[in-house]
Chains A and B, each alone.
Chain A
Amino acid sequence: MVVVELITGRTLDQGATVEEKLSDEYFNAVNYIELSEEDFKQLALKEGDRVKVVTDFGEVVVFAKKSELPKGIAFIPMGPYANAVIDPATDGTGMPQFKGIKARVERTEERVKTIKELLEAI
């Protein structure tokens, strides 16, 4: 288990499929978390493995990817998987906190839900 600071945001692939949200391409563009090489190693992950991301606001199972990130920082593309775990509180601004959420990440054998399954669970 590692503790990370979670950032969520745009990627080219997510943007290129943003008008096809019910497609496989979109699913693949938003269903993962990027972890630093050290965190990836610490969790003994291989490409294609799944992890459970848990925050004070929810949990979600996503695929794990290794990426050039500083240790302790993780990134999930914006979308329904990210929004399952970020902080909805807006501090009076109307803007939830999409970036900078403390999260616990651990390996899991659970499946990654499809977009529709994710929605049904809300």
Chain B
Amino acid sequence: MQDIICTFCGSVCDDGEYDLEKRKVKKFCKLGSSKFAEKERIKAPMIDGKEVSYEEAIEKAVEILVNAKKPLLYGWASTANEAIRVGVILAEKLGGVYDQCASVCHAPGTLAMIEEGLPGATLGSVKNRADVVIFWGSNPMEAHPRHGTRYSISAKGLLVKDRKQRKIIVVDVRPTKTAKIADMFVQIKPGYDYAIISALRAIISGNADVVPNEVGGVPKEKLVELAEIMKKAKYGAIFYGLGVTQSRGRDRNIENAIKLVQLLNRTTRWVIWPMRGHYNVVGAGEVPAWEVGYQYAIDFSRGYARFSPAEFSAVEVLLRKDCDAALIVASDPVAHFPKMAVKHLKQIPVIQIDPFPNMTTLIAKVVIPSAVYGIEAEGTVYRMDCVPLRVKKILETNYWTDEKILEEILKRVEKLRG
């Protein structure tokens, strides 16, 4: 089967080939291949570790959610829009909290966008035009392995024909695998992205004299060199990653980078875009934005959406013990949240909807196994640059889709709540 779409990372490569006989996927990277490889599944719905039917598990889930004062509905980045939409409506109906994986990933970029806007482009624009690409706090060789060949490093574009016509720059605190293949590596001290971006803005706007001899571990000459490259670019792209969103300064780092890009656009063309991690984390934010007004950290306890990252993001809600039940869909907060947040998750009833057993499964009261989008179920997802793709159903399965499970839950909740 041709044109298979990968449902792992935000690159959402759509040129895969699936061998139905060998049950293997070709052309994808190590991450994509692992996605399509067979692995242990949650065999059946469970309540307290005991196997039950889908209907029984759903009834129990409904009971927990309806009796909760403030349930947390979290995850959403690794499922399709159709399911996310039901999840958002369910959170609204329950008066609970909706949050999604971006809150521990790229949400600071959303905060920066609120402050400054986001001057960006689709990946095809970068492929065709970008003669300078900077990976800032981002390591695609390990997190988005085919991003470079398909879009940003060696991709064959319309105006920029191949790797030789591109300059690749990596800014990071350590020599990553991506730094190894770059034309220029700028090693910085952790937590100094903001200062370095300010220095670049100063140099590019003609105020290099205010910049000290060294900023964040980088000598001034190197910053001047980098600024020159940026000014001379015909079309530049900054791809940023968790190196900036998860370090000191978080959203302010990105805000500053956006201001740098605004400045550059006065004399040449530059774009900036986040390297989103999951294949549909963009959908997990776009769907609630159009349905209820915001991308994440949403509270519905007053009967309408309220947005506050400081109060309603999952980690904050858990640290404050401000939820009394949780529905975790397509995610593993027990593995990926700070220990103190996991502590509260262990105290409350947790319902998990996921194809694969993970650490959250170990503490979940109700576990509902679902079909894998892109392999066993069809659905709409948004690539990291918000380009929509329709992932395919390749194999038959008896597992229900996330969408179906959530719809059944919503139906019953609507009946009880009116």
Contact = CB atoms under 8 A, between A and B. Distances in A.
A77 B108 CA distance: 21
B339 A88 contact: yes
B310 to A, nearest CB: 4
Interface string B324-350: 000000001011111111110010000
A83 B337 contact: yes
Interface string B234-249: 0000000011011110
B159 interface: no
A118 to B, nearest CB: 9
Interface stretch (A4-12, A43-51, A105-113): A4-12
A52 to B, nearest CB: 15
A91 B250 contact: yes
Given A21-B332, A84-B339, A94 B359 contact: no
Nearest to B143: A10
A15 B35 CA distance: 10
B363 interface: yes
Contacts of A70: 173-174, 187
B40 A96 contact: no
B391 interface: no
B310 A83 contact: no
Interface in B5-55: 8-9, 30-31, 33-35, 39-40
Most buried by A among B99, B173, B174, B175: B174
A95 B104 contact: yes
Interface residues of B, number: 66
Contacts of B105: 95
B142 A15 contact: yes
Contacts of A40: none
Nearest to B189: A5
A69 B316 CA distance: 32
B154 interface: no
A75 interface: yes
Contacts of B356: 19-21
Given A88-B319, A93-B310, A99 B243 contact: yes
A57 B339 CA distance: 9
B316 A10 contact: no
Given A7-B173, A21-B332, A93 B250 contact: yes
A99 B139 CA distance: 14
B24 to A, nearest CB: 15
A100 B39 CA distance: 34
B337 A21 contact: no
A22 interface: yes
Given A86-B338, A88-B339, A73 B190 contact: yes
B39 A19 contact: yes
Contacts of A86: 338
A1 interface: no
B216 interface: no
B143 to A, nearest CB: 4
Given A9-B242, A10-B143, A20 B40 contact: yes
B335 A88 contact: no
A32 to B, nearest CB: 15
A95 B246 contact: yes
A100 B191 contact: yes
Contacts of A19: 34-35, 39, 355-356, 358
B34 A90 contact: no
Contacts of A88: 315, 319, 338-341
A73 B338 CA distance: 20
Interface in A38-94: 57-58, 68-70, 73, 75, 78-80, 83-84, 86-88, 90-94
Contact of B358 (A21, A100, A122): A21
Contact of A80 (B175, B316, B343, B359): B359
A21 B359 contact: yes
Contact of B297 (A94, A97, A98, A116): A94
A115 interface: yes
A90 B249 CA distance: 11
Contacts of A68: 174-175
Contacts of A12: 30-31, 141-142, 145
B387 interface: no
A94 B315 contact: yes
12 contacts: A12-B142, A21-B359, A23-B40, A69-B174, A70-B174, A88-B339, A92-B310, A94-B99, A95-B108, A95-B246, A96-B341, A99-B242
Interface of B: 8-9, 30-31, 33-35, 39-40, 99, 103-105, 107-108, 111, 139, 141-143, 145, 173-175, 187, 190-191, 242-243, 245-248, 250-251, 277, 296-297, 309-310, 312-316, 319, 332, 334-343, 346, 355-359, 361-363
Would you list the 4 A-B pairs with minimal beta carbon distance, nearest first?
A94-B313, A88-B338, A94-B309, A92-B310
